[in-house]
Amino acid sequence: MTAQGQRAKTALVTGASRGIGRAIALELGRAGLEVVGTATADDGARAITGFLEGEGVRGHGAVLRAEQADSVAALLGSLAEQDKMPDVLVNNAGITRDSLLLRMSDEDWQAVINTDLTSVFRLSKACVRAMMKKKWGRIISITSLTGAAGNPGQANYAAAKAGITGFSKSLAKELGTRNITVNCVAPGFIDTDMVRALPEKYRDEIVRTIPAARFGEAREVAELVRFLASGAAAYITGETVHINGGLYMA
């Protein structure tokens, strides 16, 4: 409870085990929200609980298979029973299954669409009713530079991320009168495990194409999400905010 006797706002952050998701969970927790961060397995959920506690953040980890409707329903049902339905939803969970189109299997296409796009539909739908009752809510989905600019070998990923943008614009128009904002954050190259795994030569080539001459930090993405989740961003909705050091200018 807050000092005024009101329930603290709850943030649900999917894919919070590492990288951008972890940074977002910590940043929202430091802003005073109670954070529920998700991972795909029990070990990951326990690790989230551990790092939140270690940083003095109120919250815990939970298991979610974002691509599975039953898993979404189970998690949101549990949160409803605890009176912790999300005031802030951050859709960050995602996968890649990269391949040139001629080699891309139906399974790889569908796996990315289900995890990266359909999960945003299911989670948003599951959270919206409670937000409408409270007449306040924030839905923030992490998309990608790839969803705007495209990238060879990532037709499935680009389609999913672009789909989130269209979905978010439509939902923003549906919910605008309810004090619920719906926005996307589209990171470029961020210094996470995925980028660090690239060969050094390729990393150097990428940096030379970025006007800011460096990779972004997960903390910088998290700070942007924190702003969009705040009252200060109440008049921003239906937008995709690019954070890429000038690599792509929409």
pLDDT in tens, 94-142: 999 999 999 999 999 999 999 999 999 999 999 999 999 999 999 999 9
- 200 within a domain of the structure (yes/no): no
Token duo for residue 50: 């551990």
pLDDT digits (tens, 9 = 90+) for 205-243: 999 999 999 999 999 999 999 999 999 999 999 999 999
For residue 83, what are the domain limits?
10-191+219-240
Token duo for residue 96: 């890649």
Integer CA distances (angstroms), 240 to 3, 139, 165, 203, 244, in order: 34, 12, 7, 26, 12
In this prediction, residue 17 carries a pLDDT of 96
DSSP letter at 117?
I
Q: Mean pLDDT, to the nearest integer, of 57-82?
A: 97
- The pLDDT-based confidence of 3 (bands split at 50, 70, 90) is very low
- 202 within a domain of the structure (yes/no): no
For 40, how many CA atoms within 13 A lie in the half-sphere containing its CB?
Answer: 11
Query: Of residues 157, 202, 235, 248, which has the active-site annotation?
Result: 157
In this prediction, residue 69 carries a pLDDT of 97
- 21 within a domain of the structure (yes/no): yes
Sequence-separated (6 or more) residues with CB below 8 Å from residue 191: 215, 216, 217, 218
5 pLDDT more than 70: no
Q: Mean pLDDT, to the nearest integer, of 56-64?
A: 97
User: 41-70 b/e with 16+ CB inside 10 Å = b?
Assistant: eeebbebbbebbeeeebebbbbbbbbbbee
Domain count, the chain: 1
Residue-averaged pLDDT of the chain: 95
In this prediction, residue 6 carries a pLDDT of 64
Q: Mean pLDDT, to the nearest integer, of 165-189?
A: 98
CA-nearest of 2, 41, 11 to 131 is: 11
248 is catalytic: no
- pTM above threshold 0.85: yes
- The pLDDT-based confidence of 1 (bands split at 50, 70, 90) is very low
What percentage of the chain carries pLDDT values higher than 70?
98
- 30 within a domain of the structure (yes/no): yes
- 213 within a domain of the structure (yes/no): no
Question: What's 163's domain CATH number?
Answer: 3.40.50.720
- 18 within a domain of the structure (yes/no): yes
- 185 within a domain of the structure (yes/no): yes
- The pLDDT-based confidence of 197 (bands split at 50, 70, 90) is confident
- 212 within a domain of the structure (yes/no): no
CA gap 185, 202 in Å, rounded: 25
Sequence-separated (6 or more) residues with CB below 8 Å from residue 154: 96, 98, 146
